[in-house]
Structure 1
Amino acid sequence: MYIPELYKNENQEDIQNFIHQNGFAILVNQTDGKLWATHIPLVLDVNADGKQVLVGHISKLNPQGESFKADDSVLAIFSGAHSYISSSWYDHENVPTWNYLAVHVYGNVKIYTHEQAVNSLKKLVDKYEANSENPVRVEKLSEKTMREARGIIAFEIEITSIEAQKNYPKTEMIKTIKISFPN
C-alpha cells in the first residue's frame, strides 16, 4: 500500500493493538487466476517457533482454500476508523483529503491439522466471547456441533511484512477538530 512517509506507523505495539481491536479482515490472494477476497476474523498469535502469526479459517467450500496449495502468498487487510477531512478545517488553503487507519499484513499460509484447527477455534471463540454474559466455550460444545469443524480449512499466516497507515497528524494546520480518532 502506498503510505506517505508522514503517515507511516512503524510502532509495533500500536500495530498489534490495532489488529487486536480490528480483527475482522479481508484476506486476499490469487484464486483461479484472479484476485479473490474473503471477509474473515483473524487473530494475532504466536506460533510454536515464537513468531507472530495470524490465525483464521475459511469454509472448505470457499475456492480460496484450494488456491493455498498452489500459492501460499496472501494479504490480510485490517481497516479502522476513517473520515473525510474538509479543506475548510485548515487555517490556509489546502486540498481535502481522507483520514484513515489501516494495516496490511503480507504472509504465507500454512494449513492446520484438524487438532490445530480446533485449538484455533478455541482461541477465536474465547476472544470474542470474553465479554459475553454467558460465554460459549468450544470445549463445552456437543460432538455433533463440533463435527462442523470438519468443514473448515484452518490456517496460520506466517507474517513476512506489515505496512501500517496512521491517523492524519495532529498539527496546527487544522483549525477545528470535527472528528475524534482512536490513537
Structure 2
Amino acid sequence: MYIPKYYKVTDVNEIEEFIQMNSFATLVTTKQGKPIATHLPLMFNKKGDNYYLTGHMAYGNPQWRTFESSDDVLVMFQGPNEYISSSWYSHENVPTWNYQAVHIYGKANIIEKEELIDDLTMLLEKYEKDREKPILWDNLSPELLEKEMKGIVGFKIKIGEVQAAYKLSQNRNEDDYKNIIDQLKNEEAPNSKQMALLMEKRCKKQI
C-alpha cells in the first residue's frame, strides 16, 4: 500500500485498537494467478511474541484451499472514509478523500477443531457479551454446534508485515483542519460525522 509519510501509522497498540474496532476484513489470496477475496470478521490475538489473525469461512468456499500454496495472504481492514471538498480550504486546491486502512500480510494455516472452538467462543463473547440475551458458546446445544461446525473451516494467519495509513488531513494547516471538521459535522452522511470525530480525536491526542 502506498503511504505518504504524513499518514503512516506504526504504533502497534493503535493498530490493534483499529483492528478490534473495524474487524470485518477482506481476505485476499490468488488461485491460478487470479486474485480472489472473502469478506469476514477476524479476531486479533497474541501468543508469545507472535501476532495472529484468526477466523473461519464456509467449507464450500474454495479460498481456504489456496492457503497451502500461498506464501502470504493479504488482509485489508478499513475504517470510515469520506470525500473532502477543497472548498473547505483557505486556498485553491483539489478535492481529496480521507480514510483509514490497515493491510496485513502473513502465512495462513488451517486450525484444528479445538482451536476453532476456542476462537468461536471468543468471537461470540466479543459481540454478544453486552446484549440483553447473549448467545454464547455454552448456551447453544451440542447438536447444533456439531452440525454447524461441519460447514466451516477455521484458520489463523501469522502476521508478518503490517502497513497502516490514516489519511486524516494531517497535511493541512490548523485553520483548514478545524474547518474540515466543522464542515463534515454539517454533512448528512454518517461517514462524515464519523470522520469528524476521528479528526477531533487525533487533534486532542496531539495537545
User: Same fold per TM (> 0.5)?
Assistant: yes
* Inter-partner Cα distance in structure 2 for 1:154 and 1:33: 24
Name the TM-score, length of structure 1 as normaliser. Answer: 0.93
The answer as to whether partners of 2:68 and 2:109 remain within 8 angstroms in 1 is: no
Between structures 1 and 2, the one with greater helix share: 2
> What are the equivalent positions in structure 2 for 1:80-99 lying under 5 Å apart?
80-99=79-98
- For residue 72 of structure 1, report the CA deviation from its aligned partner: 4.7
Q: Any gaps of 5 or more consecutive residues in structure 1?
A: none
* Inter-partner Cα distance in structure 2 for 1:114 and 1:13: 30
Runs of 4+ in 1 over 6 A off after TM superposition: none
**1:171 match:** 173
**CA-atom RMSD, angstroms?**
1.5
Name the TM-score, length of structure 2 as normaliser. Answer: 0.83
* Inter-partner Cα distance in structure 2 for 1:160 and 1:61: 28
> What are the equivalent positions in structure 2 for 1:142-161 lying under 5 Å apart?
142-147=141-146, 148-161=148-161
Deviates more, 1:104-113 or 1:144-153: 144-153
Q: Any gaps of 5 or more consecutive residues in structure 2?
A: 185-195, 202-207
Residue aligned with 2:6, SS: helix
Larger relative contact order (Cα-Cα within 8 Å, sequence gap ≥ 6): 1
The answer as to whether partners of 1:72 and 1:110 remain within 8 angstroms in 2 is: no
**1:108 match:** 107
**2:20 match:** 20
> What are the equivalent positions in structure 2 for 1:107-146 lying under 5 Å apart?
107-146=106-145
* Inter-partner Cα distance in structure 1 for 2:80 and 2:173: 19
- For residue 101 of structure 1, report the CA deviation from its aligned partner: 0.7
Deviations 1:60-99 (A, max 9, x none): 1101011112225211111101111111111111111100
